Amino acid sequence: MPAKFDSLLAARRAVVLDGATGTNLQLRGLPRGAPSDLWVLENPSEVLRLHREFIEAGSDIILTNSFGGSRVRLSRSGLGERASELNRSAASLARQAAGETALVAGSIGPSGELLKPLGPLDEEDAYNAFFEQATALIEGGVDLIVVETQFDLGEARAALRAVRAASPDIPLICSFSFDRGTRTMMGVRPTALAAEFSGFNLSALGINCGRSLEDNFKVLQDLRTTTDLPIWFKPNAGLPRTDEMGNSFYDVQPEEMGAQVPAWVAAGARLVGGCCGTSPAHVRAIADAARNLETTAPESK
């Protein structure tokens, strides 16, 4: 597994990731407010179709539909006891779509609870839930794992510790969401990440979700100053807005996002894609821009 990821990174100046899962599935009928992970069990054909559309658009890596797949978070929907099944199924669906064309990243998002003393969740309970999730994703055939959309250093450490217990060698990425501009909701700055997670043998550090493209770009620049690791960069298509029916939409169009890829790569991003609001069309624009950079030799970082 490490060889596949390392070879892909060496072969591309910019590895292309996929786009949003939740917002795209909502456009396809997922009820508003329902966790996207539910469709792994209830509508797997639609999840599979979305994976394939991202690959057709140019994604080198796709993420499993398991963002909220920890036992802690699934318990809100009465699915806690099916956590392992859901994650294995999510990995299997992505693996089926990817074949030998793309790599599959197992997505592990936040638990949805704050750790003690700020919230009810004990760190070891979080660790156990993440260990269960990581184990199931690996059993389902993922090539790497991304602990994503993190905002709290303690919870991220618990998740990374759990992944490393499940597999000492699988490529592992940790990505934070800076939804307060250049800080997370818990006040974490991008410059803190490299030192905090130096002991986990990470393959990349990342930025995803967050706020505007401008804010995320500033975070990218800040993170580059403190790490030599490859940077995973998956921003939203701008900030969400709401129409008169209460539906969310995003203003940044595919061509606008694609036009920014050269600046992202010049600032240090090595793996580029999109988060909330980014469709297969956005990914195609990102992929086209990334491929246009291939005439330049890959960076060594």
Q: Could you state, in chain order, the average pLDDT of each consecutive group of 10 residues for the chain (301 residues)?
A: 90 97 95 92 98 98 98 95 98 97 98 96 97 98 98 98 98 97 94 95 97 95 97 94 78 97 98 97 98 67 42
pLDDT of the residue at 65: 98
Flag whether 298 is in a domain: no
Taking Cα atoms as reference points, which of 160, 90, 86, 91 lies closest to residue 130? 160
Flag whether 80 is in a domain: yes
CB 176 within 8 A of CB 206: yes
Flag whether 191 is in a domain: yes
22-26, Cβ contacts within 8 angstroms, sequence gap of 24 or more:
22/67, 22/276, 23/248, 23/250, 23/276, 23/277, 23/278, 24/50, 24/279, 24/280, 25/50, 25/65
d(CA 53, CA 252): 20
Structural domain that includes position 33: 2-292
The total of structural domains in the chain comes to 1
Flag whether 299 is in a domain: no
Flag whether 96 is in a domain: yes
d(CA 278, CA 58): 14
Angle CA 87–93–94, to nearest 5: 90
pLDDT of the residue at 187: 95
- C-alpha distances out from residue 288 to 50, 156, 272, 280, 297, Å: 19, 33, 12, 12, 17
d(CA 75, CA 57): 34
Flag whether 297 is in a domain: no
CB 148 within 8 A of CB 107: yes
- C-alpha distances out from residue 203 to 139, 206, 210, Å: 20, 10, 21
pLDDT of the residue at 255: 98
The count of other CB atoms within 10 Å of the CB of residue 10 is 10
Flag whether 301 is in a domain: no
pLDDT of the residue at 296: 55
The CATH number assigned to the domain holding 19 equals 3.20.20.330
